[in-house]
Amino acid sequence: MYKLSDSNLEKFLQLDKKAKEIFDNIKEHLNFIFPNLKFLTAKMDFLGDVLYIYFYGETRVDFRPWLKDLRDLI
């Protein structure tokens, strides 16, 4: 599990500037869908064309609905 703070987010994901913008966009979507979700820990996995984010190692969110939008940002 990883803390989603600005200081270690780039280290964990080894993000360049554009990738961080994409991740911030994902977090905005999650805040809208799960307004009570606390972003304390999460793990991101890119599996082929599917982006999964695991919260507390239990809840999996499938981001296929946003993949087209995310690819447009790249």
> Over the range 39-68, which residues count as b (16 or more CB within 10 Å of their CB) and which as e?
eeebebeeeeeebebebeeeeebebeeeee
DSSP state of 40: S
Distance from first CA to last CA of the chain, Å, rounded?
26
Question: Residue 3: which pLDDT band, with cuts at 50, 70 and 90?
Answer: very low
Residue 24: the pLDDT is: 72
The values of phi and psi at residue 49, to 5°, are -95, 10
37: domain range?
A: 2-73
Report the number of distinct structural domains present in the chain. 1
Note the pTM of the prediction, 2 decimals: 0.31
For 22-59, what is each residue's pLDDT tens digit? 667 777 776 666 665 555 445 555 555 555 555 544 45
Amino acid (one-letter) located at 42: A
